[in-house]
Each structure stands twice: as C-alpha cells, then as structure tokens.
Chain A
C-alpha cells in the first residue's frame, strides 16, 4: 500500500515537473519580450544584456506619434473583418449544401475546397501579385481582404459543415412539413443552432488573417496597406537598426484581443483547429 502511494506521489512530482518546465519555457520569452517593449531603446542591444531595465513608455509614444500605428491597426481590422464576412457569406451556404444534400460530385467538391488549405502561399504568390497589379489593387486593403478570405474559405467551410452534420435531421423535417423553404430553414433553424460553430470558424479565420505574412508583404508596399504583421518588419530606422521596443509593443497589441477571444471559445478550439475532423 505504502509503495503504491509513493509511486503515485512520485508520478505527480514528475507530472508537475514536466508541465511546469514547459510553462516556464512558454512564458519566459513572452515576459522578457514584454520587458523589451517597456524599456528605453538604449537598454535593448547592449554589450551585456540588461536583465533589470528602467521602465519607459518611449515605445508607446513612438508607435503612435512617429509611426502610423493607427493606420496599421485600421488596415488590419478592416481587412480581417471584411475577409471574415466574405468567408461566412460564401461558406455557410456551401457547408449547408455539403452537409445536407446528396448529389453527384459532392464529395469531390468538398475535397477540392479542403485541398486549397494545402496550397503553400508561395506557390500562388506570383500569379496573385500579377492579378492584383493588373486589377490596380496592389497596395490596397481590398486586395488583402480578398486574399485572406481565400486563405480561410476552406477552414470556415469545413468547420461549419462539421457542426451542421451534428444537427439532427428531424429538426428540419418538422419545419419542412410546415412548408418552410430550404433557405428559410437554413436561416431560421440551422444558423441559430450552430452559432458556436460559426463563431469558432470566424475566430480561427481571424487568427490566420492576423498572422498572414507573405501575401501581405507582396501586396502592401506603403503604410496605406501595411497590417500589423508586416508593419513589424518595417520598424527599422536606418542607422538605428531594428526598433525592438516598438515591435514588442505592436506584438502585444495584436496578441491581447486574440488571447481574449480564444479563451472565450476554448472548448471549441480543438475542433476548429482540425477543421472539424475531431470533436473535442
């Protein structure tokens, strides 16, 4: 009996050692980067690293006064919201079609939509660059909106489809015998019933859009279309080199809202990340 108890407390000790070590590994760089954002420029790159810096809001003032931070923020928000709206408007009917009807070629269409998730941005980067150049959309948030929507279309469709498959058919059948049209059933019964799934899909799409780097780098060439993700790479000031405290603050400005919404949808996260393949 005693040996059982000892091995149990030992295994608990190992458990918390492993989990605690990984938590430290996760958080240490984050906390240190936060300290970079809150220290003066002169204490960032020094012959010896400074572990206990003086507190300073230099970077906060700099990003708003010397750099068009408000513009970066506005571009990010508009491009992301626009792209998520496009995704939902196109993907919800598509998911409804894929989950509720039997027809020829359905599974191939579904797989085609899924397979666009595998396309490396670099593969289509050059043609898309020429496409937007010919359309006169380079360096606009419209181009970013269209690209982000395309990147996330597969994810949103498959997540929403997975939640729709969970809805029992009887729910619609009752409404159908009352004479409701298919579109009305989608709007009045299905969408309210899978609202958590739609929100999950929107949050996942939002994260991918905030993170997007390669396309944004190619499309945006002036602050008119820089998003926060690409603006980071432009916080350099000639002889000043990379302006790390500004970069750190912008990183945290983008992080906080994402963290808040992700904690809110925590329960659905594993399902969203696997595009509905597992139900967590």
Chain B
C-alpha cells in the first residue's frame, strides 16, 4: 500500500490524459483504415495513406507549416534576443515588459481580425504606404502567396515575440552579475559580453523557449482560418487547416485521420529526440 501511494496520486491525471490522447490516438488509427464519408465506415486498408502520399495539397501543407513556422520562429528569436539585450539592464525593464506583453494577451482570433482588417478589409497599411509614396496602388495581398504568408508571419511575430522576450529577460536577469562585471573591467564592450558570456550561458533556456514556441507555431490555426482561409492557391494552408478542411468541410474523416496519424508519429519522434533532451538538460 505504501509503495502504491505515489502511483495513486499521479493516476487520476494520467488516466484523464490517456482518455484524451490514447483513446483518440487509437480511434484515429482505426478510422484511418476506413473510408468514412457519409454513411457506414468501409474498410479500405492503406488506401488513405497511399492517397496522402500522392496528395500535393498534403505535402504543400507540410511545407507551408515548415516555411511559415521556421521563418516566424527565427524572426521572433532574433528580435526577442535583441530586445532582451537592450531591456534587461534598463531601469524601466518592468515597464517595457508590460508594454511588450500586451499583444500576447489578446485572443488569437482577435489578433487575426486585427490583421485582416488592417491589411485586407480596411487596407490601412496600403493607404499609409501610398501616402508616404512607397507604393502606387493597394497591395494585392490576397493574390500573392508570399505576401499572404508574410502577413501570417507578421501577425505571429507581433503577437508572440513577447513570449520569448519575457523568458530571455528573466534568464539574463538571473545570470551571475559578477561574471559580467569581471568581463567589463577587462574592457569588453556590452555587446561582446552579451555575445561571448551571456548568450552561451542562455543556451538551455533558449532551447526550451524555442521548443515551446515551435510547438505552438506548427499548430497555427486561427490566423489561417480567419485571415487567409489557406489561400491563395493553398499557399498558406497549414497542416492543422488541412486536417480541419478535409474532415469538417469535406467530411472525409478517414482521410483526415490518416493525416492526423502521420502528424502524431512526427510529434512522438520529435518529442523523444528533441524535447526530452532539452527539458532534462535545462534542469541539470
């Protein structure tokens, strides 16, 4: 009984999570071997997977998720590091933090509407750019794949750079000031200290922060759903939107489940290879 006690304490949470991950996992795997449209399920073996393999929209969605996600993550990381570098020694660091935090506290669906209105419906940005003479007519964002992708990236950078900024500032503030002080007495510039001393020490924190942010970027949905609808020409369709569209717009549930299973396998591989290492090393 004494030996079982810790298991009993952790069991309710684990059972709850198994119910909401293991059951759906098994369900999705089963369903992926059936043709599930309207009416009864019809077993079709690996047909869904074979079709996915030849589906350029599926590969496109994977590619879009990767391109949009990695560009957005890289931008956020560089900007957040720069801002943290300038802010962490500043006497008003708390004030900067509160201001920078604000975009992160809006609902993603609200942010999507802000950007939809700003760029597409009211065309405020086009108007401002015309006024200062940078462009001559309204930006045709909806007909350009790269402008549409840039819009999604911009909205994501605007909303989520503070996530990394807050973590980086905390990490920099937590570092031993004596090391910095010693380097400064040796005549090193602030930037040299940051680059050669602070940044290497921050590596584990940066890894954890980028992993968490990276996970959330790959699940980007509200912006796509509200701003671009995956267009033009499926150029901004992320994998989440692909699964949603296949399942809940075309009711092709078996096919969508096959895509989910592939995503699930990718997630587990990445979790084992990357996340485990980062989270374990960050606490040693």
Determine whether A36 belongs to the interface, using a CB cutoff of 8 Å to chain B. Answer: yes
CB distance from B111 to the nearest CB of A (A): 8
The proximity string for B residues 255-278 relative to A, scoring 1 for CB distances below 8 Å and 0 otherwise, is: 011001001100110110001100
Q: Which of A57-65, A171-179, A190-198, A252-260 contacts B (4 or more CB under 8 A)?
A: A252-260
- Does A168 lie at the interface of the complex (its beta carbon under 8 Å from any beta carbon of B)? no
**Quick one: which of A86, A113, A217, A274 has the most chain B CB within 10 A?**
A274
Instruction: Give Cα A280 to B102, complex, Å.
Output: 19
The prevalent SS among residues of B at the interface is helix
Interface size class of B (residues with CB under 8 A): 35 or more
Cβ–Cβ contact A30 & B98, under 8 A = no
Complexed CA–CA distance, A232 and B166 (Å): 28
Q: Do B247 and A278 have beta carbons less than 8 Å apart?
A: no
Question: How many Å from the CB of A59 to the closest CB on chain B?
Answer: 13
Q: How far apart are A148's CB and chain B's nearest CB, in angstroms?
A: 11
Given contacts A255-B105, A262-B105, A109 and B100 within 8 Å (CB-CB)? no
Q: When the two chains form their complex, are residues B243 and A125 in contact, meaning their CB atoms are under 8 A apart?
A: yes
Given the known interface contacts A126-B256, A280-B171, the answer about A182 and B263 at a Cβ–Cβ threshold of 8 Å is no
**A278→B170 contact, CB < 8 A:** yes
Whether the Cβ atoms of A153 and B16 lie closer than 8 Å is: yes
Find out whether the CB atom of B271 lies under 8 angstroms from the CB atom of A115. yes
Asked if B114 and A29 make an inter-chain contact with CB atoms under 8 angstroms apart, the answer reads: yes
Contact B7 A90 (CB under 8 A): no
A96 partner residues in chain B, CB cutoff 8 A: 9
A153 and B121 within 8 A (CB): no
Interface residues on A, range: 35 or more
Select which of A36, A97, A128, A273 is within 8 A of B20 by beta carbon: A128
Asked whether A274 and B6 contact (CB < 8 A) given A18-B83, A124-B24, A251-B110, the answer is: no
Stretch binding the partner chain, chosen from B42-50, B52-60, B141-149, B208-216: B208-216
Given known pairs A23-B96, A48-B127, the reply for A251 and B106 (CB within 8 Å) is: yes
Shortest CB-to-CB span from A144 to chain B, Å, is 13
Contacts of B193 in A (CB 8 A): none
B109, A213: Cβ atoms closer than 8 Å: yes
Q: Provide the residues of chain A in CB contact with B38, threshold 8 Å.
A: none
**Contact code string A200-221 (vs B, CB < 8 Å = 1, else 0):** 0000000100110110011000
Residues of B within 8 A of A123 (CB): 24, 28, 243, 260, 263-264, 267
Decide if A9 is an interface residue (CB 8 Å cutoff).
Answer: no
Q: In the bound complex, what is the Cα–Cα distance between A261 and B165 (angstroms)?
A: 19
**Inter-chain contact B260/A124, CB cutoff 8 Å:** yes
Is there a chain B Cβ closer than 8 Å to A149's Cβ? yes
Binds A, one of B70-78, B178-186, B220-228: B220-228
Asked if A15 and B86 make an inter-chain contact with CB atoms under 8 angstroms apart, the answer reads yes
- B-chain residues with CB within 8 Å of residue A129 when the two chains form the complex: 248
If A15-B90, A120-B263 touch, does A97 touch B114 (CB 8 Å cutoff)? no
B200 at the interface (CB under 8 A from A): no
Task: Enumerate chain A residues within 8 angstroms of B241, measured Cβ to Cβ.
Answer: 122
Partner of B28, one of A27, A109, A120, A126: A126
On chain B, the residues within 8 Å of A223 by CB distance are none
| Closest Cβ–Cβ distance, residue B110 to chain A (whole Å) | 3
User: A254 and B163: CB pair below 8 A?
Assistant: no
Residue B87 at the A interface, CB < 8 A?
Answer: yes
Contacts of B233 on A, CB cut-off 8 Å? Answer: none
Contacting residue for A26 out of B7, B103, B244, CB 8 A:
B103
Is B219's CB under 8 angstroms from A122's CB?
yes
CB-contact partner of A49 in B123, B173, B218, under 8 A: B123
